[in-house]
Amino acid sequence: MPGRTPSSRVASSSSTAAAPAVGGGGGGAFFSPLSPLLSMIPGWVIPSQTHIDLLLLSMVIKVLLFPTYHSTDFEVHRNWLAITHSLPLRQWYFDAGSQWTLDYPPFFAYFSYILGIPNRWFGWGDARITALVDGLELANPSTKTYMRVSVVITELVLGAALVAHSRAPRQGRLSPGHLERQINEHQVRAFRTSSSPPTGGAAATIPETATQLPPSIRLLGKKTTRFFGGALDFDEATATLLAASVFFHPGLIIIDHIHFQYNGFLFGVLLWAIWAARERRLLLCAILFSSLLNLKHIYVYIAPAFTVFLLRTYVIPPGAESKLRTHPDIFFLAIERLLGLALVTLLPFAISIGPLVYDTLANGDVSEPGVGGVLSQLLSRLFPFSRGLNHAYWAPNAWALWTFADRVALKLLRHRPSLGQLLPVYFSRNIGNASAVSSASRGLVGDTTFAVLPSIAPSVCFALTLLAMLPFLAYLWARPSYRRFLAALTGCAFASFLFGWHVHEKAILLVLIPFTPLAVQSYTHFRIWTLLSAAGIVSLFPLLFEVRETPIKLAYSVLWALMVGGQLKRKVYRPVPSNLGLIIHFLEDLYLLGLIPLQIYVDVVHPMLFSSASTAAVGTGAGSVAGAAVSAAAAAAAPVVSAAMSIVQPAVTPLRSVETAVAGGLGSVTAAAAAGAAAAVAAVAPTGILAADTSSATSTGVAAAVAGAAGSLAEATGKVLPAVAQAADEGSLEFLPLMLTSVYCA
């Protein structure tokens, strides 16, 4: 700055260095009274003033959302608190007292137990929150506050992880001391023993430079360093912006703080595992991710990326694979590291399942399932393949497009049956199947049967998912780096989302959040992030279907996109595009603009057009169907009743009351029952009960009456069934906004 001397700059630097800098980013003054204590804590743990301001702002926003709509997931998680506090551990996964059964891994069950402790032990909130029976469907203000506060507090795990990610990673190559800690101890001792003591009789020590280490160990250190040399370009201001974009992400606001779930806590554990990878703490990374799998098994989607990453950075670094046969020390070191990695990976599984097994062995009796039964029940809860290909609300993936194409093909074949001749027989085998016609059109939970296109088996989903993952995994295996690791995480999550079995729409967050750090690496990454974020967030909008939440989700998402997207766009360099690049960019912008009319239709036009009209149409249709059924049934039953009354003497009184009921129009079911009763009495009555006149003329009259009744019922059925089908088609309009949103975002 003009006017300042070099000495003044030196003095300024000295004073800055002398000031407490705990937390960084302007947070020194805030924490200065605690500096002696906090100086013992690593700097990446302590938030800066900026972090604290963002935390307070987010908490204000989330508290204001407490009174909003909550989904059935609210009752699911409340019931899990009750299950874990009301039943023995061995019975947690067998409870079926309500439909909200426990279907998360044991770590999350223990987590639910911890969340219920303030209510059970200290009386916070409604006492029925942890009650198994009395607490069912409990949603009073006290309960809602208790549950929503638990989401906000546990989300601090995510906030702490984001603070760590906003700090600069460890830089530089691996030092000899670090190598000594990383390589196997007996290899170091073997090298010390074989080395000649230095002059002066001093004991052999590890050399001061890595080049003095044995070639095999030096190779391991060099190749391991190469992985960490591929770190992301780091800027603290940009990292803080990216961290804030995740903490304020509309997806987390919609799913956790309105719809109700605990994804913030779970993604916090995931980001801690990714942070451990960035900081070269590989065994800690393995333990954290293994623990995450025991919290929610959906993260198995990205397990292949973690597996390849750990194998190529901890067990067999690049270049070491070619030396495994020629350098026995590298081979044995790789084996020992593999066993060590397997041990720390299995440790969380043992801690998770161990108490369940112990309680079964120690307290279970002969009337209860043994260990095998408990573990089998656990697996059946975690992997319910009977739920079908699609979730109740289609996730915007390949199967949403497949199902939509099946619905369109069915409509075309109904109007143009001749088109069916162009299709293979296998394709059109289910057109007449009623379950196939309705299974994928109403957003119901259950298996999906296709009417025209072939059905999809779980094995097909698995094969396609694995094929889509392979390029990312091969890319990471060939030259592992932190950037490629994040790309592989995103790729594996995206492959599972696009082709997985019974994918939830909420799983899109597993794609969006790991990809966020890559958004500023290049303009291409930024455009991908923009498209993924826009489509992913909009695909979550149907979760909030009440009118009062519509302004919240739209305004908040647009504000987030303008603030975050605008800032990130300034931080990336846009190269001069080619002609093809201009066309692709135009199509991408056109797609993004298409989200506007989509939301106008879903949130404004569709409710105005079909809410009242559908109600009136369904009511009128139902009345017409009921009226037609009653009239047809009464007309069909009258001859039968009359004929039966003429030949069944003891049944005259009951049949007269039935006839009166039919004449009064009590409904098709009553009339049909009366007709059936009359025919049954005439058929099975003992001989003594019948009148003397049982001539062939009477029998012929009865037969004619029955035949006429059957004809009338058949005619009525022909009128009723189309009306029912029409009513069903009109009723399916309620699923139209969900289908349009899912297909467009897919």
Residue 33 domain-assigned (yes or no):
yes
Residue 76 domain-assigned (yes or no):
no
Per the structure block, which two tokens stand in for 163? 């603070």
> Any idea which of 236-240, 387-391, 446-450, 475-479 has the lowest mean pLDDT?
446-450
Q: What is the mean pLDDT of residues 591-617?
A: 80
Closest CA to 305 of 465, 491, 478, 481: 491
DSSP 690: B
720 close to 625: Cβ distance less than 8 angstroms: yes
Assess whether pLDDT exceeds 50 at residue 347: yes
Per the structure block, which two tokens stand in for 674? 């009366």
Structural domain boundaries enclosing 694: 610-737
Higher per-residue confidence, 648 vs 590? 590
pTM of the model: 0.75
Per the structure block, which two tokens stand in for 415? 């109007």
Closest CA to 494 of 520, 465, 519, 518: 465
147-179 pLDDT, tens digit per residue, is 999 999 999 999 999 999 998 887 543 333 343
254-281 pLDDT, tens digit per residue, is 999 999 999 999 999 999 999 999 999 9
Higher per-residue confidence, 265 vs 673? 265
CA angle 267, 270, 276 (to 5 degrees): 145
Residue 704 domain-assigned (yes or no):
yes
> Any idea which of 229-233, 287-291, 310-314, 732-736 has the lowest mean pLDDT?
229-233
Domain final position from 374, 405, 438 = 438
Domain final position from 413, 438, 463 = 438
Residue 483 domain-assigned (yes or no):
no
Question: According to the model, what pLDDT value does residue 562 have?
Answer: 95
* CA torsion through residues 137, 140, 141, 143, sign: negative
- The size of the chain, in residues, is 746
Higher per-residue confidence, 719 vs 416? 416
Ranked by mean pLDDT, the top range of 160-169, 222-231, 446-455 is 160-169
448 close to 388: Cβ distance less than 8 angstroms: yes
Place of tokens 């426990």: 102
Type of residue numbered 178: H
Q: Rounded to the nearest 5°, which phi and psi values hold at 690?
A: -75, 155
Residue 473 domain-assigned (yes or no):
no
Residue 420 domain-assigned (yes or no):
yes
Residue 375 domain-assigned (yes or no):
no
Beta bridge partner(s), residue 503:
390
Residues 6 or more apart in contact with residue 76 via CB below 8 angstroms: 100
Integer Cα distance of 196 and 206 in angstroms: 12
Domain final position from 402, 419, 438 = 438
Integer Cα distance of 597 and 370 in angstroms: 57
- DSSP, collapsed to helix, strand or coil, labels residue 126 as coil
pLDDT range class, residue 734, cuts 50, 70, 90: low
> Any idea which of 161-175, 250-264, 530-544, 626-640 has the lowest mean pLDDT?
626-640
112 close to 80: Cβ distance less than 8 angstroms: yes
Phi-psi region of 415 (alpha: psi -120 to 50; beta: other; left: phi over 0): alpha
Place of tokens 């700090």: 167
- In 183-325, where does DSSP find H-type helix? 185-194, 215-229, 236-247, 250-254, 263-278, 282-293, 303-310
Residue 728 domain-assigned (yes or no):
yes
In the chain, the number of structural domains is 3
- In 140-183, where does DSSP find H-type helix? 141-154, 156-165, 176-182
61-88 pLDDT, tens digit per residue, is 999 999 999 999 999 999 999 999 999 9
